[in-house]
Amino acid sequence: MTLRRLVLALTIIITCGLIAPSHSTHAQGIKITQTVTPGFYEGQSVFYYTFFNGTPVLDKGATVAVGEQYRLVDAEGNPIEGQHDLIAAGPYDNGYSDLREIIEVTAPEDYEANTITSVEDLLAQDWPQARTGKNHNIPIVRTGTQLQGHDYDPISIWINGDERQAFDFGETPAQTAPIWVLITGYDATGSAIRLPGQAGPIIRQLHNDPGYSDFWQVFFVTVPEDTVPNSIRSYEQIIESGYPIAESENVINCPVIRLENLTIGYLNDTAYYITRIDRPDLPLDTTLPPIYTYVYDDGVPLEDTPWVLSVGEGDDGYTGFCMRTHVLLASTYHTNETDILGDSNATIQAVGVVSTCAILMPVD
Nearest residue to 137 via CA among 73, 249, 219, 53? 53
Q: What is the pLDDT of residue 30?
A: 59
What pTM was computed for the model?
0.89
- Total number of domains constituting the chain: 1
Residue 244 in any domain: the answer is no
Q: What is the pLDDT of residue 1?
A: 39
Residue 31 bridge partners (DSSP):
24
| Structural domain span for residue 312 | 259-362
DSSP result, 197-215: T----EES--TTSTT--SE
Q: How far is CA 338 from CA 55, 116, 268, 329, in A?
A: 49, 55, 8, 16
C-alpha to C-alpha distance for 89 and 87, rounded to whole angstroms: 6
Residue 100 in any domain: the answer is no
C-alpha to C-alpha distance for 196 and 43, rounded to whole angstroms: 18
- Please state the φ and ψ torsions of residue 343, each to the nearest 5 degrees: -85, 110
Q: Is 43 helix (H, G, I), strand (E, B) or coil?
A: coil
Residue 17 in any domain: the answer is no
Report the chain's terminal Cα–Cα distance, integer Å: 39
Residue 269 in any domain: the answer is yes
Residue 340 in any domain: the answer is yes
Q: Kind of pairing, strands 192-194 and 177-186? A: antiparallel
C-alpha to C-alpha distance for 322 and 6, rounded to whole angstroms: 43
Do 362 and 271 contact (CB within 8 A), yes or no?
yes
Do 101 and 67 contact (CB within 8 A), yes or no?
yes
Q: What is the pLDDT of residue 3?
A: 36
Q: What is the pLDDT of residue 23?
A: 37
Residue 266 in any domain: the answer is yes
C-alpha to C-alpha distance for 286 and 256, rounded to whole angstroms: 31
Residue 32 in any domain: the answer is no
Q: What is the pLDDT along the chain (364 residues), one digit of tens a residue?
A: 343 443 444 444 444 543 344 433 333 445 789 999 999 999 999 999 999 999 999 999 999 999 999 999 999 999 999 999 999 999 999 999 999 999 999 999 999 999 999 999 999 999 999 999 999 999 999 999 999 999 999 999 999 999 999 999 999 999 999 999 999 999 999 999 999 999 999 999 999 999 999 999 999 999 999 999 999 999 999 999 999 999 999 999 999 999 999 999 999 999 999 999 999 999 999 999 999 999 998 888 898 899 999 999 999 999 999 999 999 988 899 999 999 999 999 999 999 899 999 999 999 8
Q: What is the pLDDT of residue 180?
A: 98
Residue 12 in any domain: the answer is no
Do 208 and 170 contact (CB within 8 A), yes or no?
no
